[in-house]
Amino acid sequence: MTHTPHYRPCDMVKDIASDYGVHVEVAVRDLHGDVRTSYDMLRWYSERVMETNPGSIIDIVVDEETHQFKSYFLCFAACAYGYEVGCRPLIFLDGSHITDKIQGVILAASALNKNDELFTIAFAIADMET
């Protein structure tokens, strides 16, 4: 282990791997799961949402030929109702790009409630912003 203020994260990863025989990439995958497995769990999550929050709107799009994930949209029924009864009639859209091995974008639709606080109405995960 190095005792310097210039100890970089990549050096720390190398030291952990050599000192403890732990490969960080494997440990992270074991802890958080494989990215592709996480996308596969969206179907399970959607079923749980519909059981516990009926009236929610969920749309999963998968390419029929390649079976690759294209997009996921989720609007909880409670959020749609909250927008309808407690928000100003203006929707803000925002996106944040996912910079990982699997590229994509997280999109959110929000509004301001009567206290001028941001209220999330729906969100989507897509392979591209369009």
Residue at 67: amino acid letter: H
With contact defined as beta carbons under 8 Å apart, do 53 and 119 qualify? Answer: no
Q: Between residues 65 and 13, which one has the greater pLDDT? A: 65
pLDDT by residue (tens digit) across 104-127? 899 999 999 999 999 999 999 988
C-alpha to C-alpha distance for 112 and 93, rounded to whole angstroms: 12
Residues sharing a CB contact under 8 Å with residue 100, sequence separation 6 or more, in sequence order: 35
Q: Between residues 29 and 77, which one has the greater pLDDT? A: 77
